[in-house]
Amino acid sequence: MTKKLVFTLCLLFSISFGFAQTKSELEAQKSEKQAEADAAQKEADAIQAQIDALPGWKKGAFGVIGGSLSNFNNWYAQGTPNSSSGNIGINFNAYANKLEDKYFWRNSLTVNLAWVKLDDKDDPNDNDSFQPTSDVFNVSSLYGRKLSDKWAASALAEYRTTILDNFNDPGYLDVGIGFTWTPLDNLLVVIHPLNYNFVFSDSDTIFESSLGAKIVADYTRKFGKIDFKSNLSAFLSYKGSDLSNWTWTNNFSYTLWKNIGVGFDFALRSNKQEALNYALGNYNPAAVPAETLPTFDNVDNDLQTYYTLGLTYKF
């Protein structure tokens, strides 16, 4: 009996030692292969950087799709126990850049759309359809003639509006000339002291076109599986700060499998003309004394924000 027990213990010890040795060997092999893969990825990134530096067209697109749906029946803990709700958000970014030794031509498109709905099943008169919330459309074209490796004389046309509600009301078209500075391969800074901001709107008493300066800063970078893009577009009106505006958008995308990943977009905006237009929309001028209506002097120009979180697909 003792011999059998000793033999069994020796056998179990041998199996455990052999398994531990095999696991250690496998982990060592895995580390070696991972190091080889990291080195290969660095070489691939270096080659891609050389490809990106070659003259010619560079095109690309990626987007974010986020959404959720929910349904409640007899959920008495909330004010509307029988309801269904949902939200859908879509963000699309595309670019087409022609980079040559003596000039460049950069074109970009950004679209961000979102809808939300809340259907109270106990209220037959409520609106149960999806209502648009976020509504952004921006397209720009920048042409530059190189003066040096870092500086170029440039001309910019940028148009932005909404497309779900009130298309081109308001709509903004910036057209100007000046200089473009590229201190880094991934950073572009546009400085146009001569720029005209055309504003299209039915409310001519609020929205007004003016002459001013245009400043754009765009940073685009790829870190392995992470794509990042940040863009600041600002117009500084020479007629006063009431007619100035700026928008800062940021896009993140992490590739999980093939071209599919997760993404996060957020943006900030300040536009006093839009703030006043919205404030006046909540008043009935016929029923309110004119001296109590909001004006540029007293309107709350709150910071505008939006964000979208969801799945991404790289085209």
Does residue 154 share a domain with residue 188?
Answer: yes
Instruction: Give tens-digit pLDDT for 171-183.
Output: 999 999 999 999 9
Does residue 168 share a domain with residue 111?
Answer: yes
Rounded CA separation 246/272 (Å)? 10
Does residue 203 share a domain with residue 116?
Answer: yes
Does residue 19 share a domain with residue 155?
Answer: no
- 221 vs 50: which has the higher pLDDT: 221
Last residue of a domain, one of 35, 54, 73: 54
Does residue 130 share a domain with residue 159?
Answer: yes
Instruction: Give tens-digit pLDDT for 91-141.
Output: 888 889 998 889 999 999 989 888 888 788 888 887 778 888 778 899 999
Neighbours of 170 (CB within 10 A): 19
- Residue 17 has a pLDDT of 52
Q: Which residues on neighbouring strands pair with residue 158, listed in sequence order?
A: 140, 174
Least confident of 19-23, 83-87, 143-147, 212-216: 19-23
Does residue 99 share a domain with residue 16?
Answer: no
Say whether pLDDT at 36 is over 70: yes
Last residue of a domain, one of 10, 27, 54: 54
Does residue 243 share a domain with residue 178?
Answer: yes
- 9 vs 234: which has the higher pLDDT: 234
- Residue 12 has a pLDDT of 53
Does residue 135 share a domain with residue 270?
Answer: yes
Rounded CA separation 20/41 (Å)? 31
Domain boundaries, position 25:
1-54
Q: What is the mean pLDDT of residues 220-238?
A: 89
Does residue 172 share a domain with residue 28?
Answer: no
CATH code, domain with 82:
2.40.230
Instruction: Give tens-digit pLDDT for 47-81.
Output: 766 666 667 788 888 777 777 778 878 676 666 77
Last residue of a domain, one of 12, 28, 54: 54
- Residue 15 has a pLDDT of 54
Neighbours of 299 (CB within 10 A): 18
Does residue 83 share a domain with residue 222?
Answer: yes
Average pLDDT value for the chain: 82
Does residue 199 share a domain with residue 137?
Answer: yes
Neighbours of 75 (CB within 10 A): 12
Count of structural domains, the chain = 2
Q: pLDDT over 70 for what percent of the chain?
A: 83
- 248 vs 114: which has the higher pLDDT: 248
Does residue 86 share a domain with residue 34?
Answer: no
Q: How confident is the model at residue 147 (pLDDT cuts 50, 70, 90)?
A: very high
Residue 233's identity, in one-letter code, is S
- Residue 1 has a pLDDT of 55
